[in-house]
Amino acid sequence: MALDRRFPSIRFRLVDEQGGIRRHIAMFVGETMVRSLDVPVADNNRVQIVGALSGG
């Protein structure tokens, strides 16, 4: 993952042991929420990574 080369160890925080996006992470390509790293990203797409917040 090119992002991991730029930001070492970010993959561990985003991707689980099976290679999927961790369940507490919301990832968007453009306006679409994605649950797979296999989604193509065009040069003009915005990618957003959001960590879930929880509490009581």
Mean pLDDT over residues 33-53, rounded? 92
**Domain residue ranges in the chain:** 2-51
Angstrom distance (rounded) from CA 48 to CA 56: 26
Reported in sequence order, the residue ranges of the chain that DSSP labels E, i.e. its strands, are: 25-29, 32-34, 47-51
pLDDT for the residue numbered 3: 80
On average, the pLDDT of the chain sits at 90
Does residue 50 have a pLDDT over 80? yes
pTM: 0.77
Which amino acid is residue 41, in one-letter code? V
Mean pLDDT over residues 1-5, rounded? 79
In terms of Cα–Cα distance, which of 18, 21, 22, 28 is closest to 49?
Answer: 28
Does residue 56 have a pLDDT over 70? no
Per-position b or e across 12-23, b if 16+ CB within 10 A of its CB: eebbeeeeebee
